[in-house]
Amino acid sequence: MKKLCYLIKITFQTKFAYIKAFWFNIFGTAVSILIYYFLWKYVFQSRDELHGFTAAQITTYVILSRLLSSQFSGGINREFAEWVQRGDIVVELLRPVPLVFTLFWKKELGEFLFFFLFKGIPVTILASLILGGIGPDSAANLILFFTSVLISIGLMFWIEIMVGLVSFFTLSSYGLGYTKTALMSILSGGIVPLFLFPEGVARVLDYMPFAGYGFSAGFRFILEKYTATVGRFLSGTSDRVGDSSLETGVDGILRFAMKKTSWYRVADGNEN
């Protein structure tokens, strides 16, 4: 437990060291919220509801989606690529703490805790009061929302790991990283809610893992708009593949990448 607290402490210290960048990040998020808010305000000028959602509910969606998007848009895949390019990946793998363990607790949970305490709560409260958002109807819905976000952190972590592993073969994952961010924003409902997609497309996206991302599932929990599919998932009767299968797949890819990298290093040493 001391290791976990120490890793989170390092993340907090790093964030406080670059506090001006953090303020600019908050400013950028506020501008993004305002832009989307005025776009949706224009849509609701001629109607009171849109697919059963009111203007206040969509405002809540805008606030939550823009906040979560600002936190999860970067990703550890960029740092992974930089490690491979500079050769620092060897040092990271030789540390006494497992690499995946360090990345998850330091980069994912540590940064999320900092985001939640110093950005998520203040910006959500201020934006809801100023723009007219609404909160959850019960404590149970709020708990479900945070549970959805925590699951999203784990899901996003393994997706970023898989994207970062590509850098073992390409030495860079910038292009793929930006593609990943764009696809995740669209397929998870971060830009446009999934209920606005055509019925057939929305049905397909609802069965993909991205639909359980914080943008879509968390928004439904806050407003009690979750469907029967989500209800089956909560009750444990869903047939979706669990995170353990995803972790197993990532582990296999990592082992293959490291074997390939080690083979190249031995080959270069023999040539020299």
pLDDT value of position 212: 64
269 or 181, which is more confident: 181
The mean pLDDT value for 77-90 works out to: 81
Q: Give the three-class secondary structure for 242.
A: coil
pLDDT value of position 125: 92
pLDDT value of position 73: 67
Which of 114, 120, 94 lies closest to 10 in space, CA to CA?
114
Tell me the C-alpha distance between 38 and 95, whole Å: 49
250 or 117, which is more confident: 117
Range with the poorest average pLDDT among 64-78, 148-162, 241-255: 241-255
pLDDT one-digit tens code per residue, 104-134: 777 778 888 888 888 999 999 999 999 988 8
The mean pLDDT value for 129-144 works out to: 85
Tokens of 200: 């057939």
Tell me: pLDDT of 160 over 60.
yes
pLDDT value of position 263: 40
H-state helical runs in the chain: 2-17, 19-43, 55-72, 77-86, 89-94, 99-102, 111-115, 121-131, 139-165, 167-170, 174-187, 199-206, 219-223, 228-235, 243-271
The answer to whether 213 and 191 have CB atoms below 8 angstroms apart is no
Per-residue pLDDT band for 39 (boundaries 50, 70, 90) equals very high
DSSP secondary structure, 67-109, as one string: HHHHHHSS-THHHHHHHHHHTTHHHHHHSSS-HHHHIIIIIII
The mean pLDDT value for 125-150 works out to: 86
| Sign, Cα dihedral of 167, 173, 176, 181 | positive
Q: Which residues contact 219 (CB under 8 A, 6 or more apart)?
A: 60, 61, 64, 65, 189, 193, 225
pLDDT value of position 236: 43
pLDDT value of position 250: 44
Mean pLDDT of the chain: 76
Per-residue pLDDT band for 153 (boundaries 50, 70, 90) equals confident
Q: Which long-range contacts link 73-76 to residues 24+ away (Cβ below 8 Å)?
A: 73/181, 73/185, 75/156, 75/160, 75/163, 75/164, 75/177, 75/180, 75/181, 76/103, 76/107, 76/108, 76/157, 76/160, 76/161, 76/164
pLDDT value of position 188: 81
The mean pLDDT value for 222-227 works out to: 67
Tell me: pLDDT of 38 over 90.
yes
Range with the poorest average pLDDT among 16-20, 131-135, 252-256: 252-256
The answer to whether 264 and 270 have CB atoms below 8 angstroms apart is no
DSSP state at residue 195: G
